[in-house]
Structures are given as structure tokens and as C-alpha cells.
Structure 1
Amino acid sequence: MKKLVNDPRAVVGEMLEGLIALHPGQALLEGENVILRSDIPEEPAQRQVAIISGGGSGHEPAHAGYVGAGMLHAAVAGDVFTSPSTDAVLAAIRTVSGPAGALLVVKNYTGDRLNFGLAAELARAEGIPVETVVVADDVALRDTVETSRRRGIAGTVWIHKVAGAASAAGAPLAQVTREAAEAALLLGTMGVGLGACTVPAAGRPGFTLGEGEMELGLGIHGEQGVRRVPVQSADEVVNTLLSAILEDQRLGAGDRVALLVNGLGGTPTQELAIIARRALALLRERGLHVERAWSGAFLTALEMPGCSLSLLKVDDARLQRLDAPASAPAWPGSGRLAPARRISSAPTTAPGPSATETRTQGMERFPEAVLAVAQALEAAEARLTELDAAAGDGDLGISLARGAAAMRALPETSWASPARALTALGEALRRSIGGSSGPFYATALLRAARRLGDTSPDARAWAEAFRAGVDAVAELGGARPGDRTMLDALHPAAEAFSRALQDGKPLTEAWAETVQAAREGTEATSRMTPRLGRASYLGARAVGLPDAGAEAVTVWLGALTPFIR
């Protein structure tokens, strides 16, 4: 287990100390693992209905992240995945409540219900009005337990918001409770896990998953799901989760809803955005009106990879509560959606090829050669990804595969002449390949095209253009042979081609020497310490495998061999 903690037994206390140090609107209740709003009036009669929630730690930013004006007045933290004690809950009630009373928002777990419930009874015995709303939004359990026994999961955050807004508006305890309870009944959530999480005190994951498996319908405590299924694509996951929620909540065309895309702790923002994209599209396809939507980590399970989706049926009154101001540090804002907007880029001013332009001599097999290069790059995607991941960011394979797709899509008018073809290829790669490879290849091709001009080049002219392109790569990136870059394959290849032609060797033999020089240069990179690019950050740790960019050069040079005659 690798975690940035000191002592597993001190995790919760040290976490709470860090949170209040970062958020001036919060305070820590002395002697208890309870975070409070720092602006609670000293005079109890001046206090609003207090909204209190909490539960086991490990769900951050819940619950402490929702303590602030317009949401919770206090959050009670237990040990990781463990309900807080009755005494801690009671201390929170006593500290933030007044004659207006308190509402406890409780997720439907036995420990939480018992400890929050007993604390409510004790507080009532002291004369403090206390009500409880239990959230049971996990639709994955609809075929397993009765509705009242379902787990409370990510949708609980919305109940914090609805209740907090009602309290901030001055509503009495009965109304605050009614609004929170009604929202809880109109709420459905379902999650999926791609792996387990590790409780600090346990030191090992709660379960193991095969490479091609995921857990469907899991809770927020590192447990397994309702069933284990083969890994699905992002769109398939959304379809599965939302279909279950829509059926359970009887939602359909014309209904107004809010959407919550919740990461379970180990899911990148990138993946959550892909999930949100499909979720919004599916709901609109089904005829629902998505009034508000949020995406992020709201209620997590430590570092678990996965997500949950929540839907809340809304009306104008409920939207008013969701839209009300809130200063809790983890509340993300309004969630308002705008119509999809796509802005066209400025049109190019460069003249395009004429549809009637004829091909110059020697261009007959050029398109075929380009397709061969595209096919070779696609076939090498996995290998290039592996090499690039070992010393960089692992994107070269997919980047060059995108470039290959762009090559395939070039129109027939691209092949009018060598210079026109190289220019078209450079423009296509510039637009399709991200990172450094796109600019390098585009610059090389454009420089080579200018060197060729409008002539029908012979072999020596092609050699000069090749060398000009290689020089352009060196100028753009500042690399030299020996720096462990694509130049370590390009430079010896260009030199070998020119030298072989100058020695009067046949074109096919000259090209064979060119490809061999590139291969030898690529192999040599496995013994080099990188001096440029991301690989340079690894230093000697990158030694042992060839440079991915150099390997790619050998791939496309080799693919051209049958066409060099």
C-alpha cells in the first residue's frame, strides 16, 4: 500500500486539521471530529435550522466540503468507512442548534442510522427539536432489498443543498424537513467500479478485479457491486446506469431533471467529461429536460476508479433551492447548461488544388505509397505506444494512427505533383497529430515541398528534399544526432541516401541502405541517455529501449521500400 499518510490511526484528525487550515469559513469542534461553520451565531435564538450530516471518512470532499453558508452547518466524521459515534453527533447538534432545531441528513447505513438516530433522541430529550431525513438513492439494489433498505450514496449531496437552501431562506424545521424528504424520494443513483480502494488501516484492496472486469452497482465503502460484468465502453456504462435509474424512478419524456456525474476518487476529469457527454445526450434523446448538471468528485470511496450517475426530478421550487447561493468549499456552482455551441474556425486563405489539375509524371503510385505508410503506422500503434509510455507520455502510437487516418482521407487532388502531395500531407498531419510529432512532420514535409518546387524531381532532388526536411526537424526542435530523438533515425537515413546516390548506386540499393541506416540509428538510441523531450526527465532510466520517435521513422521508411524504383 502506498498512501501519503503518517499514521493510519491519525488519518481523520490530521485530514480535518488540514481542511480547516485551508477554509477560513470552517472551524473544528474541540475534542471531536466535527467541522462547523465558523459563523454560527453565539446567541442560539439567532440561529437558523441547523443542517447536519456526516458519516465515515474516505468520501471526501463529503462531508466536510459541504459545510458552509447555504449548505451544512456541521459535518461529523467517523473513522474511514465507519459511522461517527453518537456522542460526536450529539456534540454537533448541541453546538450549532438553537430553538429553530436541527435536521440530520443521514445516508442509509445501519451504523449511521443508529448513531444519528440515538443522538437525535438524546437531543430531543434536552429540548432541541430534531428531525431526520434518510437518503436511500441506490437503485442498484432495487431487486435485492426493499426501497427503504437501499444505500445512501452520491445523491445525498443534493439533499444537503436543498435542505441548506431552505434553512438559509428562513424556513422552519417542518418545511426544511419536508423539502429534503421529498427530494430524497425523487432521487436515484447507480455506480460502477473499475477497481478496488485500500482502507489505510487494512493496507490492502477490498477485492480484486480481472483486467477485463468491472463491478456494477457498488456502494461507497470499497465493497463489491451487485454483479461483476465485462468492462464496457464509457457510452455503454452510461446507457446501463441511466436506463436503470430512469426505469426505477419512472422518468421519461417531458420530465425535468438534474444530473450529477460523480467520480469515486480515482477517475480523471477527462473520463468524467466523456461520461457526462453521453449522459446528457442520452437524456435528451429520451426527451427529458436536463435543467442542471454537475460533474466532478462529490462523494468518493478513497481512490476507487469508477463513477456514479444521479438523477433528481426537479420543479421550479426545487431548482430554486439548487440555484440558491452556497459558499461551501466543495459545492461547484450553479450547474446551469447552455445550448451546445460550435464555432467554425477561420477559413484558410491558401489556394487549394484545382479539381481539374492533372498529375505530373511519376505520381501514379504516390497515393498507393501513402496508403502503405498509413497501414504500417496503424499496425505499429501498439509497439509505438509501448515504447513511448516507457520514456514519455505514451501518446505516440495513437497520434500517428490519427495521422494515418488523415492520410487516408486526403482527396485525389492532393496527388497532382510531388510538392503538392507533400504539402497536403504536411497540412493533414499538422491538423491531426497532437504533441510534438505533428509540428515536426508537418515542418519537414513543408520544407521538403518547397525544395522540390513545381518540377518533376529525379532521385537526387528527392534526396535533397529529404535532407532539407531533416534539417527542418533539427532546427525546430533543437536536437542533434545523439540526443535520442527521431533525428537519430532521420539524419543517418538522409545521409545514407545522398551518399549512395552520389556513389552511383541504383535507386533500390540506395533506398535499402537508407532504411538500414535508420534501423541502426534507432537501435543506437537504446544505448543513449535522452537529452531532449519528456524522456530527458528520466535520464539513465530511459536506457534500454529504442526511442519511439526513431522507431516510427523506421516504420514509414520501410513501408516506402516497394515503391522506390
Structure 2
Amino acid sequence: MNDKKLYNNPAEIVDDALEGLAKSNKGIKVVKSHRVVVRSDVNQVIQKGLVTLVSGGGSGHEPAHANYVGEGMLTAAVCGSVFASPPPSNIECALRFAKSPAGCLVIVKNYTGDRINFGLAVEKLKNEGFKLKMIVVGEDCANHSASMTATGRRGLAGVVFVHKIAGAMASRGCTLEEIVDHLKIVCSSLGTVGVSFSAISLPGSDKLLFNLDNDVYSLGLGIHGEMGAFKEKMSSARNIVATMFDHMTGEKNPVRIDINNSRLAVLINNLGGLSNLELTLFANEVLEYFRNYPEIQIERIYIGTFMTSLNMNGASITVLKITTNSQLTDLDSKTTANGWKNQDSFGINNDFELNYKEEEKEYTKEDSTISKKMENALKEALQHVIDELIENEEYLNLLDSIVGDGDCGSTFKRVLLILKEKLNMNKLRTDSPFALLMQLSELAQKDMGGTSGGLYSVFFAAAASKINKECSITTIGESLRAGVEAIQYYGGAKQGDRTMLDALLPCLECFKSEVSSKEISKLIKEKVEEGVNETTHLKARAGRAAYTDTVHHNKPDAGAYAVGLWMKSLCNKLLIE
């Protein structure tokens, strides 16, 4: 597996990142020699007699912990190397900057290295008269062995809730003892479980920290790139969320959290590599899960990246049982820390849907109907176009696969089958070229989709603007020109860019009033064939293919070839009349 990382020197990745963070945030300063981030206004905080807060741990968990430094959250954070606890001397540096007569609270995730190193710094400075307290956060609900070891439950994303509540309490002037007493309740009301879908490597190493088959995911992992406590078969997001809550709350789990009849704050956390699309889908399934339990009240919901494991492709769910309304006030209070997203609305939005009913369109245009003879010719021409394009599905897919995703023919077939059904059921306005073109525009937009659907929709809509009752050769030519010019304007392509325009543009010069329709038909078929063949020598310069087409090809562009098919079919069945 290729797990590339961005850095200058892997040994300096943390220092470079902290420098970038401080340069872009006037609210913090960095002690580069000790990897410590401190609030810029730390002296004012101390002068006000407020309790200060220090936290930290290994790097690789960003935005934790440096991004939680700011008014309303941490006073300082100390960062170790990736997944490694910071040394006591660096922690001591942070505590000296945060020294306050009101005292300093040290918040530590439950990992042995952090407990020892932070504890050592705390005990040393206590001997110098510092007023210090340390609280350890451990809320992992998946690692069953945690209940049977001295180490206890690991600290995960739940510590972010602790940062936020402690920061709000300190800002409003609570004493060190009051904050510690309340945080003990908070910590006992936390639970977290995480999942991962792939392994990661450390910066500077191409070795994955564990192996995970494609058909399984890891449940109950920590935040240091380690394998989870369990492996489960890959399933839907809905089933994965249900499994996570089953482990978190299951009665046989000795480290379970009981959330029955509870008021909850829920933190849905990206472990680093999950796309935002997947994260919000994941969040939706979490919320849908709770719909099955009306006795549980979701007071607050937070979705984002709060505590990562480098670029781990996974997510975690943290629940906090709300025991006092002051906890909600503390969660709601504003902070300048850029790792926490201030929200103006909270809880689940049950009234989230807007109804929109698309009205059936009645396309009318004065004097736009045609004779019965012309209508029958038009129906026959449409049927011929449909049959011709469907018959060439596989070849169009082949042409499209050269520089595209190979679905051009299938896309046409999908929309043409719908068109064929409408034609057979007399649901197309073949009596009115204007109404028909508008119907085709709507069909392309809704059922064809993608760039091709958009271009054809624009083409038909623009072409309709030039249609009138006579439907003369001149009118047809003007209509075609209007459609082609619309494709050029909105699509941005031009002749020679290896697109459908290379087949369409040569046809525009064929419409001459002094020439019979049969001669025009012959001329169009010649010109469109020349345009299609010309694309075999062209390099794509427009559309998605422009980014991937690096060589010339000996086969025509799929879009141009499709134009050739329907243009020649129309000529054979319509213009010769």
C-alpha cells in the first residue's frame, strides 16, 4: 500500500507544523525549542487570577492538542513527536508559561507515557510551589481487556469535551477545585468507540503499522495507528454504526457506557482520512440510529475532525452523558481555539426538509405546430435515431474508454430507452418542434445526467428558441446554429478540441436557401463524416478527457461519433422529405 506523507524532513515535521500553525494564528505563540504552544494573552489570563489549562501528548492527532489553545479552551499545549509522549522538560516549559496563582489544571489522555511524563513534570514543579492538579481522561468502550489491567481505558476523542468544558469553567472564574470536581463527573460520563478501514504508516516510513484485509474493518482502535480490538466484515455504514453502539453499550462489555434514558452530547470524529462526504453520511447513520431510541435525547451534535490518528481512514463516536445544564452552557460558550467549531444552533434538526414539487410543464408556442405529414416524418426520424444509437452502444463505450470512463454508449442507451417509451406511448409533442425540443432538453437534463446531459439539454433548449410553424430549411439551420453556439458558450470548447462540436460545426455551413433539402442532406452527411474522422487525429483539449489524453489516437471521439450517428439518421429520414 502506498501511504505517502508530506514533509521536508520526517524528524522536523512537528516543528514545521507548529511554526505554520503559529504564523497563521495571532492568538498563539510557539516555543519552538520545546514544541510548546501558548496563548498570546497568557499574561492577561494570569493577571486576572484565572485557572490555566495545559494538555498535550504525541503529535499526529491534529487538531489535538495545539489547535485547542485559545480563549475558552487550553492555555498551553505541549507536543511530542508523532505518537510519542513529550519529554518532561518540554511539559515543564508549558507549565512555567501557564503558572497562575489560581492554579493550573493538567489534562492528560490515559496513556502510560503521558501519565508518567506529565506526572513527573507536575510533581517537580509542585516542589517549587506551583499549584497544580492533574486529571486523566480514559473513555475507550471497546477494549474489553482495559477493565482487567492496571492501565485502564485509553483516552480518545472524549478529551476534547473535557478541554471545552474545563476551558469554559476557567474562563468564567471557577476555582481549580471546582473544575477538577466537575471534570471527574464528566470523565465518568464519557464513552468512545472507533473504527478503521485501512492501516497507516509513520512519516518517513513505508511500513504499515498493521495489516487489514479489504473485506474487513477494525473496531475498537486507539489513536496511535494500532489495530483495533476486533475485526468485523465490511458492511454498510448503517450496520457499522449499529455494531459500534452494540460494543459501546452492550451489557457483556465490562467497559460499557449506559446511555439509556440519557441526555447526550455526541461527537462524530474523523480519524484523519475519511472524506467529508463519508463523514456526513456516517453522521446521518448515527442520528438515524438514535431515532430508534426516543428515550435518549440528543442535546448537542458535533461533526468534524477533532482527534486524528494521522491519516487513518476511519471515524469514532464519542458520547457525553449530560448531567447538568451548565455542561451545555460550557459546550455552547464561544472559544477562539481554531480546532473547535463555534455553533449557533445545536441538537438534531428534525425539521430539515424543504418540499419542492416540480410542476408538469406545458410547452406551447404560438403557431408552432406542424402538418401531419411532417409529424409522421419526425416520428420515424426519432425512431431511427433511437435504434441507431442503441445499436452502437458497445462501440461508443469503446471509443469513450480511450480517454474517458467508457460509458458514453450506456448513457445514451439509458436515456433513449426512456425516449422510446415516451414515443410509443404518444407522450412526446411530435406535433410541435418547439415543444418536442423542450421535452428533449428536459429529458437530457434529468435522465442523461453528467456533462453530456447538460450539453444536450442546453443544445435542445437553445435550438427551440428558433423554431416556428414553418419548420423550413432556413429555420432548421438557424435552430441548429443556436444550439451549437449555446454548446460553445456554456461548454467552453471550440472546433479542434476533439468534442461533439467537431462533428456539429461543419454542418452549419450546409444550410443554404437556394439548395434543395435532398442536396443539403447529402452535404450534411459528408461534412459530419469529415468532422468525425478529423477527431481521430486530434488531442482532447476540453472536458474531462483534456486532463488524461496525452497521446493521439486512431479512433474518433465518442461524442463526435454519436453526433454523426443521429445527424445522419435525421438526414436520411427527415431532410430528404
TM-score bin (small chain): 0.7 to 0.9
> What pairs with 1:510-521 in structure 2 (closer than 5 Å)?
520=533
Query: Which of 255, 272, 275 is residue 268 of structure 1 equivalent to?
Result: 275
Counterpart for residue 318 of structure 1 = 327
Asked if the contact 2:392–2:409 (Cα under 8 Å) also holds between the matched residues in 1, the reply is no
CA distance in 1, matches of 2:387, 2:319: 47
User: Which stretch of structure 1 is more off in the superposition, 160-169 or 497-506?
Assistant: 497-506
Counterpart for residue 416 of structure 1 = 429
SS of equivalent residue, structure 2 residue 38: strand
Is 1:255 the counterpart of 2:266? The answer is no
Deviation of 1:487 after TM superposition, in Å, equals 2.2
CA distance in 2, matches of 1:399, 1:155: 48
Deviation of 1:502 after TM superposition, in Å, equals 3.9
SS of equivalent residue, structure 2 residue 34: coil
Query: Which of 225, 230, 237 is residue 228 of structure 2 equivalent to?
Result: 225
CA distance in 1, matches of 2:477, 2:34: 77
Counterpart for residue 485 of structure 1 = 499
For residues 141-167 of structure 1, the C-alpha deviation after alignment (integer angstroms, 9 at most, x for no partner) is 236754962221122111110111122
Amino acid at match of 2:335: A
Deviation of 1:494 after TM superposition, in Å, equals 9.1
Query: Which of 534, 551, 558 is residue 551 of structure 1 equivalent to?
Result: 558
TM-aligned CA distance change 1:204 to 1:18, over 3 Å: same
Deviation of 1:34 after TM superposition, in Å, equals 1.2
Counterpart for residue 9 of structure 2 = 7
Deviation of 1:138 after TM superposition, in Å, equals 2.4
Amino acid at match of 1:318: Q
Asked if the contact 1:190–1:218 (Cα under 8 Å) also holds between the matched residues in 2, the reply is yes
Counterpart for residue 253 of structure 2 = none
Asked if the contact 2:5–2:204 (Cα under 8 Å) also holds between the matched residues in 1, the reply is no
Counterpart for residue 294 of structure 1 = 302
Query: Which of 339, 364, 369 is residue 330 of structure 1 equivalent to?
Result: 339
Deviation of 1:79 after TM superposition, in Å, equals 0.4
TM-score normalized by the length of structure 1: 0.79
For residues 420-462 of structure 1, the C-alpha deviation after alignment (integer angstroms, 9 at most, x for no partner) is 343223124335677644431112122444566568x899998
SS of equivalent residue, structure 1 residue 232: coil
Deviation of 1:77 after TM superposition, in Å, equals 0.4
> What pairs with 1:380-419 in structure 2 (closer than 5 Å)?
387-388=403-404, 414-417=427-430, 419=433
Stretches of structure 2 lacking an aligned partner (at least 5 in a row): 251-255
CA distance in 1, matches of 2:352, 2:7: 44
Asked if the contact 1:363–1:415 (Cα under 8 Å) also holds between the matched residues in 2, the reply is no
Deviation of 1:317 after TM superposition, in Å, equals 2.3
TM-aligned CA distance change 1:200 to 1:557, over 3 Å: same
For residues 455-481 of structure 1, the C-alpha deviation after alignment (integer angstroms, 9 at most, x for no partner) is 8x8999989976764454235435333
> What pairs with 1:143-162 in structure 2 (closer than 5 Å)?
146=148, 149-162=152-165
For residues 153-212 of structure 1, the C-alpha deviation after alignment (integer angstroms, 9 at most, x for no partner) is 122111110111122222222221122222222222222223333322434432454555
User: Which stretch of structure 1 is more off in the superposition, 541-550 or 339-348?
Assistant: 541-550
Query: Which of 220, 228, 244 is residue 247 of structure 2 equivalent to?
Result: 244
TM-aligned CA distance change 1:152 to 1:477, over 3 Å: same
Counterpart for residue 351 of structure 2 = 340
Query: Which of 303, 317, 331 is residue 311 of structure 2 equivalent to?
Result: 303
TM-aligned CA distance change 1:260 to 1:562, over 3 Å: farther
Report which of the two structures shows the higher radius of gyration computed on alpha carbons.
2
CA distance in 2, matches of 1:378, 1:159: 60
Count of aligned pairs: 548
Stretches of structure 1 lacking an aligned partner (at least 5 in a row): none
Amino acid at match of 1:290: I
Counterpart for residue 280 of structure 1 = 287
Query: Which of 28, 31, 35 is residue 33 of structure 1 equivalent to?
Result: 35
Counterpart for residue 73 of structure 1 = 75
User: Percent identity between the aligned chains?
Assistant: 32
Counterpart for residue 129 of structure 2 = 127
TM-aligned CA distance change 1:387 to 1:213, over 3 Å: farther
> What pairs with 1:378-527 in structure 2 (closer than 5 Å)?
387-388=403-404, 414-417=427-430, 419=433, 420-430=435-445, 436-449=451-464, 469-488=483-502, 490=504, 502=518, 520=533, 523-525=536-538
TM-aligned CA distance change 1:478 to 1:386, over 3 Å: closer
TM-score normalized by the length of structure 2: 0.77
TM-aligned CA distance change 1:421 to 1:53, over 3 Å: same
Deviation of 1:557 after TM superposition, in Å, equals 7.3
SS of equivalent residue, structure 1 residue 442: helix
Is 1:88 the counterpart of 2:95? The answer is no
Is 1:174 the counterpart of 2:174? The answer is no
Asked if the contact 2:400–2:557 (Cα under 8 Å) also holds between the matched residues in 1, the reply is no
Asked if the contact 1:40–1:47 (Cα under 8 Å) also holds between the matched residues in 2, the reply is no
Asked if the contact 2:399–2:557 (Cα under 8 Å) also holds between the matched residues in 1, the reply is no
Asked if the contact 2:533–2:556 (Cα under 8 Å) also holds between the matched residues in 1, the reply is no
Deviation of 1:213 after TM superposition, in Å, equals 4.4
TM-aligned CA distance change 1:458 to 1:352, over 3 Å: closer
> CA RMSD for the aligned pairs?
4.8
User: Which stretch of structure 1 is more off in the superposition, 129-138 or 340-349?
Assistant: 340-349
Counterpart for residue 104 of structure 2 = 102
